[in-house]
């Protein structure tokens, strides 16, 4: 069935199909449903199975049984009592996942103001196992114990089954779904290069991570690089592929800081005076490693190298070096995620939302 979750029993698939038809408006308010006997024939099942399927819809207020009339669509939207949030790694046990812990706190605060509970689902399975649905999340969907889902941290393989969850959803990242929430990378790069250009900088490099949901088959090059090229041209800055430090694969959270250190340390030693005048670091964790390498190599900042570090407001990243920052506030991300969910709960269409950032220039 369209929108079904793998592993659902037939009565759960029927519930899901009817629920989606009501919430999408396909079955309008006041519509009289076929009798249970007729539904049983359509689904090639028993009257008892249809009765099981109808029960959750009555409890959710989507349909009502009227004596001598039958089952009528009420058209009432289900109330939001619990929102699930999915993480594809142990955000509590890793120092590198500070952003997600901060985001979780902001989501919990926003929902608590509305008397809505936030329910975490932390997927600690091996990467190969994560290609199939998380059993605890499937159970929550089946039992309707959550009414919406935030996908905060997922890989491309996880995103494939997560998008089939039949709930209102919001998802962080570049995944191509209408309920996506994305930091505005073009705006971030534009802010940084405008600042650098105004300081007389003529050349700029990049150190970045591959997004967890990145699919090299869909892009000739990393979208971040495409945006860098365009912004550099617009601001009259030079940028070259040999100045772009990007790992050849998606890094685990614990690999990011070491990568930032070793990649820039090797780069700095190899390039010498041929190094660009400025570097953009688009990951707070990778950037922390890069700044350690800058200190190790004793590169004067900002006299020889200007650095623009993208950071998340709640991560508490500290460095004694005079670097500019592009700051993403977790509260803005939380607000955008909940807006996507609210729109879907109200039966309204959604499209990807971009979250703007703030620029903090070093005095």
The pLDDT value given to residue 80 = 85
76-115 pLDDT tens trace: 566 788 999 999 988 888 877 889 999 999 999 999 999 9
In angstroms, the CA 309 to CA 279 distance is: 8
Mean pLDDT of 336-348: 90
Q: Is the pLDDT of residue 232 over 90?
A: yes
In angstroms, the CA 199 to CA 189 distance is: 15
The pLDDT value given to residue 185 = 87
295-311 pLDDT tens trace: 999 999 999 999 999 99
The pLDDT value given to residue 174 = 78
* Other CB atoms within 10 A of residue 284 CB: 23
Q: Tokens in use for 344?
A: 């879907």
CA distances from 352 to 18, 195, 278, 340, 341 (A): 26, 28, 31, 9, 12
Tell me the pLDDT of the chain averaged across its residues. 88
Nearest Cα neighbor of 224 from 200, 253, 193, 266 is: 193
For residue 242, the number of C-alpha atoms closer than 13 Å in the C-beta half-sphere is 9
Q: Is the pLDDT of residue 3 over 80?
A: no
Share of the chain above pLDDT 90, in %: 55
- When mean pLDDT is compared across 73-82, 145-154, 242-251, 268-277, the lowest value belongs to 73-82
Q: 54 in helix, strand or coil?
A: helix
- When mean pLDDT is compared across 44-53, 57-66, 200-209, 251-260, the lowest value belongs to 57-66
Residue with token string 């670091």: 281
pTM of the prediction?
0.75
Between these two residues, 164 and 291, which has the higher pLDDT value? 291
In angstroms, the CA 320 to CA 45 distance is: 69
Confidence of residue 4 (pLDDT cuts 50, 70, 90): very low
In angstroms, the CA 287 to CA 285 distance is: 5
Contacts of 114 (CB under 8 A, 6+ apart): 80
The pLDDT value given to residue 288 = 93
| β-bridge pairing 204-207 and 244-245 | parallel
Q: Is the pLDDT of residue 6 over 90?
A: no
Nearest Cα neighbor of 282 from 356, 189, 353, 359 is: 189
The pLDDT value given to residue 220 = 65
């Amino acid at each position: 069935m369209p929108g079904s979750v793998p592993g659902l029993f037939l009565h759960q698939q029927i519930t899901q199909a009817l629920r989606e038809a009501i919430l999408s408006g396909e079955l309008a308010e006041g519509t009289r449903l076929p009798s249970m006997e007729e539904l049983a024939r359509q689904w090639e099942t028993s009257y008892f199975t249809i009765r099981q399927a109808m029960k959750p819809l009555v409890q959710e207020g989507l349909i009502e049984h009227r004596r001598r009339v039958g089952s009528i669509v009420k058209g009432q939207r289900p109330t939001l009592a619990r929102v699930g949030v999915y993480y594809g790694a142990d955000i509590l046990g890793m120092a590198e996942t500070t952003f997600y812990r901060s985001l979780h706190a902001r989501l919990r605060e926003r929902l608590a103001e509305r008397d809505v509970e936030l329910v975490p689902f932390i997927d600690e399975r091996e990467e190969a196992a994560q290609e199939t649905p998380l059993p605890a999340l499937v159970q929550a969907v089946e039992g309707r114990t959550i009414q919406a889902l935030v996908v905060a941290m997922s890989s491309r393989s996880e995103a494939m089954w997560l998008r089939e969850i039949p709930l209102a959803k919001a998802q962080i990242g570049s995944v191509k779904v209408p309920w996506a929430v994305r930091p505005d990378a073009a705006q971030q790069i534009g802010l940084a290069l405008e600042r650098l250009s105004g300081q007389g900088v003529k050349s700029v490099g990049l150190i970045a991570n591959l997004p967890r949901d990145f699919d090299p088959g869909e892009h000739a090059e990393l979208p971040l690089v495409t945006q860098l090229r365009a912004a550099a041209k617009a601001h009259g800055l030079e940028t070259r592929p040999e100045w772009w430090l990007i790992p050849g694969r998606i890094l685990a959270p614990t690999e990011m800081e070491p990568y930032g250190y070793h990649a820039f340390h090797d780069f700095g030693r190899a390039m010498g005076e041929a190094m660009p005048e400025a570097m953009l670091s688009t990951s707070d964790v990778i950037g922390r490693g890069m700044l350690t390498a800058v200190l190790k190599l004793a590169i004067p900042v900002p006299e020889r190298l200007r650095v623009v570090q993208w950071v998340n407001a709640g991560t508490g990243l500290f460095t004694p070096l005079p670097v500019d920052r592009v700051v993403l506030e977790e509260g803005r991300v939380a607000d955008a995620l909940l807006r996507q969910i609210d729109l879907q709960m109200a039966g309204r269409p959604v499209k990807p939302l971009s979250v703007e950032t703030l620029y903090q220039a070093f005095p």
